[in-house]
Chain A
């Protein structure tokens, strides 16, 4: 049994310890907001926070995060009470198909925590490892800027 702390709740799972965190979140804990993109750590679609750091859950064995604070897109906020970054994405309508969106939001959350007053170039660089195929880049950048202001960065 592996003890996880996911979105502030203690969750015990009985799985092969090598199972990537992604599958445990989606299939054992029902947190399907985190998506499978490549299984190779290349696209950022599966990004979650582990102790505040952006981590690719598709290549992270679940045992590696035992006892650590894991935050998924569901833990950030809800449609009724969105996190300021999620609210900014909604305000900018920064999604098309929306499949990559949770991973981008999580990567941007970790980024804003360490860079509260980002330049546009910094935002682009920070999100360089998260792919969006629909072409929402412009709106995502605007949303991250908007969130930085809303969260008091500037």
Chain B
């Protein structure tokens, strides 16, 4: 048996169930079974109801606990945080909790892992279930020990009479039996003052396995008899397949060509054979439906038919106030199409038979995918099982689901399990993209330099209501019916400023068309919107000649907002003065500082970011030397995981600010590798200074998105400070700045 290749017997016995846990049992060959625990099949048939404690938890006779969760760890550390939340409410050591994630046969439907809500919502469901279980355990112990509950205390999986005396363990009280309890929404949660596990920087259990190459990603999973598949995408968007010359790959041993309509793939026993066959296969395609001229992208958006207007915020009468004002400013901001650009191209393994389908996938939404794939394959939902395995970081819906669709069609065609991993060109070229944003802003100030009116108009591609999933490439190509449409997440949030202003109008013009498929990309829309709103706030502050931090503080009331702004400025050593500074006209390198703030979704994190930049006058090259971030996310379940997420948000946000733009010609995407779609590299990484504000009595909010959003404006505002030039189009490319600096 090859290492990490489950035998058919093991596979059938477990039904392919996959477990992630603390207890990493070494296999004979030295690998670690981080995710392939053969005992998971004993749970098949368990409830997956979200109102049943048994849906979330199983307490075992050996004192261990299994936590079942529909929320998955996308590389964020949620695996640590969710176990901590269960451990806290249940009073068991976190190391005794094993976790099963995103397996439609075993885990409750907690919705997709998206919108940075895994811990905020999913974790709270888990806490409530664990608190209900604890309440029941105390009641049972009370009977067993013949003492009132008030005399008992729980700790480390044991209930003891306070002050010493008899004790009984959870294992004795439950011992692998079902609890048959409904989740009690009123079950008391721990007082934050009593937290023993929540709030601690518990190390992530997956890191040692990841750092030593033992962690089993979906890319590393294999089944007996599995073939390696590759798909061949058309050379132009919308092209139809005219002819395939199978003889062109006849020299490759055992190659199988699969054609279903315009869907084309190859399968082979060996991965390299599949890869080279996909390259070598001679095909002929129609010219396709074409793409619009990228140079006219934003003109096209503005001229696009408007499906509907949506008011996002209204106060007073902004148009009237703007018309009557003497001091006004207006500007247009543009954000490009961007890719998820995952480091590892998307991958999935599918095993489709006549009456059943099983998938191993890095999807954020196995439950929703099950519905989609049941429909696509014409199977009842209970015959389709989706099992989450770690993918490469996805930052929203990248190509994972599409790879699963590829694998499903190939597996059904060849009657064997099939693994598909996309190529780099597939991933950059065909992942659904973050949509372009176009925003017009206007503001008016009074004689005291206060904001009296603000208007945002945003042109954004319209989402399709109730779309179950972004239409899959393979399904479309194969001519199988699927709901058409588009989604990209809540891309309209935060188009309105987080500041006090008596007259406000923020409206989205939802437009009909956008050139490429879209999906949710980390902090959907908010990176672009905050770039516009916070750059424009800087413009207003410059207009009235007020220091931009001071200007923001004058328009903030929420004490948590004021605190993050003040603390970030203090940490930065911010010196209050109007922007821009007067630069030495001969200096070859100009330096500047910028500031930005967001109240994420107007309801979640408070984040302030300060940036320091150096701008090379001759080249226009922007180097960010320092990013300071103050971050308030309410309760921090695991401060080190929070810090890690904030670091990632800042650096990925910086990458999107400086480098990233999907390019396309009239046929297809042309930014299809790391030289045509560059991202932040190690030499680009600035000094990071992060201050985390812990508020244990506030509910936790997500940390995977918010801190990315203030970065673009902080950098653009710093460039303005350094050069006096206002960059209103991202990414902030050297050529754009150089052209303006040279006048």
Contacts and interface: CB of A to CB of B under 8 A. Distances in A.
Decide if A and B are genuine partners.
yes
Contacts of A78: 30, 32, 212, 214
Contact of A45 (B203, B211, B343): B343
A113 interface: no
A74 B214 contact: yes
Contacts of B344: 35-37, 45, 97, 99-100
Interface in B557-610: none
A72 interface: yes
Contact of B651 (A36, A37, A98, A135): A135
A20 B342 CA distance: 22
Given A40-B673, A127-B682, A133 B211 contact: no
B683 A99 contact: no
B652 A133 contact: yes
B468 interface: no
A78 B74 CA distance: 23
A61 B301 CA distance: 47
Contacts of B682: 123-125, 127-128, 130, 132, 137, 140-141
Contacts of A82: 208, 211-212
A94 B393 CA distance: 14
A79 B648 contact: no
A16 B272 contact: yes
A8 B341 CA distance: 35
Interface in B163-209: 203-204, 206-209
A38 B648 contact: no
B149 interface: no
Contact of B272 (A20, A102, A124, A138): A20
A48 B2 CA distance: 21
A95 B211 contact: yes
Contacts of A101: 210-211
B270 interface: yes
Contact of B647 (A34, A35, A77, A135): A135
B324 interface: no
A65 interface: no
B673 A42 contact: yes
A96 to B, nearest CB: 4
A136 B272 contact: no
B219 interface: yes
Contacts of B645: 96
Interface of B: 2-5, 24, 26, 29-32, 74-77, 203-204, 206-217, 219-220, 270-272, 275, 341-345, 390-393, 395, 421, 423-424, 640, 644-645, 647-652, 655, 673-675, 679-683, 685, 688
13 contacts: A31-B213, A33-B213, A34-B213, A35-B392, A40-B424, A42-B675, A78-B30, A79-B24, A79-B214, A82-B212, A90-B208, A97-B390, A101-B210
Interface of A: 15-16, 19-20, 23, 26-27, 30-40, 42-43, 45, 72-74, 76-80, 82, 86, 89-90, 93-102, 105, 123-125, 127-141
